[in-house]
A = this chain, B = another copy of it.
């Protein structure tokens, strides 16, 4: 920690700070500058108590942490890029993986028609919500276990792997039984008990970024997964909340190079949530691929107008097939397959 003292303080005030630093287990190192005196507090910030409360002392101007707070997810700790294998599909490797499917699982007919169509177009993983976190209690909340069973059936029929959202600790075993990847949604991205429960299943975890999560907080939420014994973590950017209202969220594509720099875990982009508008999905997929995303998560529905949730952001089967074609040159340009 670095502690910056205010100018014009008394020697006694300075001594009090030094004593407090020692009391909390750090070794103080004083550095007298031109305009300010700065104290380096030497000691491991991850095992010692925070010194940030010193900011409230009248003689202290600011307190600045020096160490990164995340460890296991960091590239510093694990130089090589991690890959995650899901039913033979490697995420984070040379091949760009596409996860596609409806926002919500609605009916067998709906799911099967999407599953076959996205497989044919080149997707390798089927997405579909069985439990849905909805802003209003009066909206469709998902089919629950019945939806999980339909996903399993679609997997048997198509060979696609399955990703679905877990939104309650109480469903952990059930969801883990049916899915290949557990998705943690944006609203639960700092629901740490849910993260721990999910991590302990051993299944790969796709962790969406919360609507107002800083990159550092997202990495630390990921740290909950790895520190609970599960190394199969995928980060998924799906748009953050800003003042802009044209799009539902603002897709922060800078997350791709940033996660790649800070972490060894793969990065997935969800342009459907990111834009909230089907007409922007294609362009955003191209950007994501060009910037180096490891996988895409795309919502596809046989009839978006009649969808039971989030119709405006779902692609029709045709549009999805066309998108997969259009992505080819960008995938090649990015040196991917």
With A42-B34, A227-B137 already in contact, the answer to whether A277 and B167 are too (CB < 8 A) is: no
Q: Is the CB of B31 within 8 A of A31?
A: yes
Contact with B along A196-222 (1 / 0, CB 8 A): 000000000000001110111100110
Q: How far is the CB of A312 from chain B (nearest CB, A)?
A: 5
Query: A-side interface residues toward B, CB under 8 Å?
Result: 2, 4, 6-8, 20, 24, 29, 31-36, 38, 40, 42-46, 49-50, 52-57, 61, 64, 66-71, 76, 133-138, 167-170, 187-188, 190-194, 210-212, 214-217, 220-221, 223-224, 227-228, 240-247, 250-254, 256-258, 261, 274-275, 277-280, 283-284, 286-292, 304-308, 311-312, 314, 329-330, 332-334
Pick the residue among B53, B187, B251, B288 that contacts A305 (CB under 8 A). Answer: B53
Pick the residue among B8, B217, B246, B290 that contacts A258 (CB under 8 A). Answer: B246
Q: Is the CB of A247 within 8 A of B243?
A: no
Q: How far is the CB of A328 from chain B (nearest CB, A)?
A: 9
With A56-B312, A279-B56 already in contact, the answer to whether A212 and B243 are too (CB < 8 A) is: yes
Q: Is the CB of A261 within 8 A of B290?
A: no
Q: Is the CB of A35 within 8 A of B44?
A: yes
Q: Is the CB of B278 within 8 A of A56?
A: yes
Q: Is the CB of B50 within 8 A of A136?
A: no
Q: Is the CB of A242 within 8 A of B242?
A: yes
Bound form: Cα–Cα A4–B38 in Å: 14
CB nearest to A186 among chain B residues = B190
